[in-house]
Structure 1
């Protein structure tokens, strides 16, 4: 099973592509009808999909800190969130991502 990632609404849907190219499963909240969802709904979707949540929203860090369970949160702090930037970050980690499942 490949690592799974759910991309939050503040990030572009195209951001899922570099994750897919790295051999992961990735989808944007818009792909599953949650573009206008609350943080709690997105949180639950990540749990239901067994996906790590990729976000720029600090609120998810607070939710995770207050929870005993929940998805991994990948908090992106860089203002650059295009596919090329993500590819540059993911490519060196590809082996780790694909062997830790």
Structure 2
């Protein structure tokens, strides 16, 4: 894999204790196989930004708890 956002972003997220929010399956593969970073994998299909924000906001307590308990991959489904 070349130096792309898919490889650079997880390294940056690890250094800064950040969580990646993405629809990109490439991040899922990295986290499952390399244990890199933490990811909220958005699987809502096409939707307006307002619907995306609403979905994240309503699921946030569960997402936050799962990340605190050490889950590296949290899937957000619609």
Q: Same fold (TM over 0.5)?
A: yes
Going from structure 1 to structure 2, the CA distance change for 1:47 and 1:82 (only over 3 Å counts) comes to farther
Counterpart CA distance in 2 for 1:46 and 1:88 is 24
Partner residue of 1:91 out of 34, 41, 57: 57
The counterpart of 1:60, out of the listed 10, 22, 27, is 27
> After TM superposition, where is structure 1 displaced by more than 4 Å over at least 4 residues in a row?
none
Q: Secondary structure at the match of 1:85?
A: helix
Q: Which runs of 5+ in 2 are unaligned?
A: 69-78
Secondary structure of the 1:79 match is: coil
TM-score by length of 1: 0.48
Task: Kindly indicate which of the two structures has a greater share of residues assigned to helix.
Answer: 2
Point out where structure 1 has 5 or more consecutive residues left out of the alignment.
1-36
In 2, Cα distance between the equivalents of 1:63 and 1:91? Answer: 26
Number of residues paired by the alignment?
A: 62
Root mean square deviation, CA, Å: 2.4
Per the alignment, residue 13 of structure 2 pairs with 46
Q: Which has the higher strand share?
A: 2
